[in-house]
Homo-oligomer: A and B are copies of this chain.
Amino acid sequence: MSRLDSFIARMEAQRDCLNFLKDKIDRLPGPLIEVGLGNGRTYDHLRTLFPGRDIYVFERKVAAHPDCIPPDNRLFLGEARASIQLAARQLGATAALIHTDLGTGDHAANMAMGRWLGPALDMLAAPGSYILANQALDVARWQRLPEPPDVPKDRYFLYRVR
């Protein structure tokens, strides 16, 4: 399997998991959170799937397509670790959905990041909310859910917050 095959499978898993969560998230109050804007494609998917819903975005440095940049008052600019602390003080544990797609091709660095990222995001997650992540995150009150139908195993990681 080439890196192209693997990337397509990961993007499909991301999209299919978000679509699978649509009805569940519609039944929950609270904002959505996108960690890592990147080129803005997933942000665009979120705002298409959940029109009118508040979406807060964390991004180190915006380099997205101009059409896919969130309004200033929904954007936490800077290093995620510090911005998440700031957002937690501002928003509390209110988010209905957190999607995170941070990281690089460096597996060890991603694993190290996961150790602080899970507990940090937990400060933003409402009881009963959902977390969708591109890597496994280990948080005591998060229960891992099985992949939705037709989504291959371990491409994306879905949790429900107790």
List residues of chain A with CB under 8 Å of any chain B CB.
Answer: 2-5, 7-8, 11-12, 14-15, 39-42, 44-45, 48-49, 65-68, 105
Min C-beta distance of A148 to chain B, whole Å? 16
What is the minimal beta-carbon distance from A64 to any residue of chain B, in angstroms? 9
Chain B residues, CB < 8 A from A67: 105
Give Cα A42 to B2, complex, Å: 8
Pick the residue among B15, B66, B105 that contacts A4 (CB under 8 A). Answer: B15
Bound form: Cα–Cα A34–B7 in Å: 18
Does B5 lie within 8 Å of A45, measured CB to CB? yes
Nearest-Cβ distance from residue A70 to partner chain B, whole angstroms: 14
Q: Which of these, B11, B48, B66, contacts A7 with CB under 8 Å?
A: B11
For chain A, what secondary structure do more than half of its interface residues adopt (helix, strand, loop), or is it mixed?
A: helix
**CB closest residue in chain B, given A8:** B11
- Report the minimal beta-carbon distance from A5 to chain B, rounded to whole angstroms: 7
Q: Is the CB of B4 within 8 A of A42?
A: yes
CB distance from A51 to the nearest CB of B (A): 11
Task: Please tell me if the beta carbons of B44 and A3 are within 8 angstroms of each other in the complex.
Answer: yes
CA distance A42 to B14 in the complex (A): 20
Give the Cβ gap from A106 to chain B, nearest Cβ, in Å: 9
Which residues of B lie under 8 Å from residue A66 when comparing CB positions? Answer: 105
A92, B139: Cα distance in complex, Å: 58
Report yes or no: B4 in contact with A41, Cβ–Cβ below 8 A.
yes
Q: How far is the CA of A56 from the CA of B86 in the complex (A)?
A: 47
